[in-house]
Amino acid sequence: MGDPHLDFWVASATIAPVLGLTHSVLTGTLYTFTSRLYQALGKDLSDNAEAILLRNKFAVLSDISMGSVAACILAMTWALVSLGFASDFVAARIIVVLSLSMAMVTSLILGVITAREAPRIARFRVEVPDWG
């Protein structure tokens, strides 16, 4: 039977990059949606209230996703430090559990919101020229 503290830190160091990658993909998708709004409507969105609301919504969602990426990076870093120096603090475990749990929940919520908003974004879809 393994050491439960060691197993916890190994699991944390393993799951944090996966969650970080998930949020990175979500952030990229949100950024793409926002850039399509600007490409379709130009820099001035003042004529289209729906586009302004979508842009603001995606900006907030992108900020949340980037915060989750940062939390995952910190959790993974602390897990690796804990493994490398054989340190195990109760407070650190609680913070890592909360950070990774919030990253899991936000990835699910952001994924659902992004998928639900995709039809609205499709109305603003533009063809981007291939420069390659």
How many structural domains comprise the chain? 1
Cβ atoms of residues 36 and 121 within 8 Å: yes
pTM of the model: 0.77
Q: Torsion over CA of 117, 128, 123 and 20, rounded to 10 degrees?
A: 0
**Each residue's pLDDT tens digit, 80-108:** 999 999 888 889 999 999 999 999 999 99
Residue 78: pLDDT band with limits 50, 70, 90:
very high
Does residue 128 belong to any structural domain of this protein? no
Average pLDDT, the chain: 83
Does residue 43 belong to any structural domain of this protein? yes
d(CA 113, CA 2): 40
Does residue 131 belong to any structural domain of this protein? no
d(CA 5, CA 11): 10
Domain that holds residue 88: 4-122
Does residue 132 belong to any structural domain of this protein? no
Does residue 130 belong to any structural domain of this protein? no
Does residue 127 belong to any structural domain of this protein? no
